[in-house]
Amino acid sequence: MKRLLNAVCVFLMLASITLISNSSAIGAEDIKKVTLDQVKPYEVAKHFKMIALRLHGKEESGSQNFWVGMSHFLPGGGAEWGASALEKIYFVLEGEVVVKSETKEFVLGPWESIYIGPNVKRDLINKTNKTATMLVIMPYPKK
């Protein structure tokens, strides 16, 4: 439960930062609902047996500082070993995924999350026979 609260707090903090930093440009009342039928799948490099959907971002809802994606990993699906320059949060909604770092292995189930810092190498795999669905929350690169 503590991890869930931490993930929710981080998400709300990022959302608040976005609203505050963009309030003069878009107005304090700017709200955008995005429904699942509005979003389109996109390809993700070094990922396999999965479908990715961008739920919020610059194009989808006007979010300027971070984006939120939903990834569906089929059994055996995952992400290859690698790192990105940006921090990220994975929040599992359904199913189970295994995230490995250079020194640890984490099994994430429903309503569990993990923070991965900038330039931290990891891989991810769905070792089960059920689809795993998770949210991915990442900032945009600074200009």
- Identify which has the larger pLDDT, 114 or 142: 114
Domains assigned to the chain: 2-139 (2.60.120.10)
40-71 per-position pLDDT tens digit: 999 999 999 999 999 999 999 999 999 999 99
pTM of the model: 0.79
Residue type for position 34: V
pLDDT in the model for residue 30: 83
- Contact in structure between 106 and 70 (CB atoms under 8 Å): no
Tokens (6 digits) for 39: 């979003």
- Identify which has the larger pLDDT, 83 or 21: 83
pLDDT in the model for residue 16: 46
* Angstrom distances, CA of residue 114 to CA of 6, 38, 90, 135: 10, 27, 5, 11
Distance CA 130, CA 31 (A): 35
Residues 6+ apart with CB under 8 A from 30: 19, 22, 62
71-102 per-position pLDDT tens digit: 999 999 999 999 999 999 999 999 999 999 99
Tokens (6 digits) for 96: 């189970």
Q: 14: helix, coil or strand?
A: helix
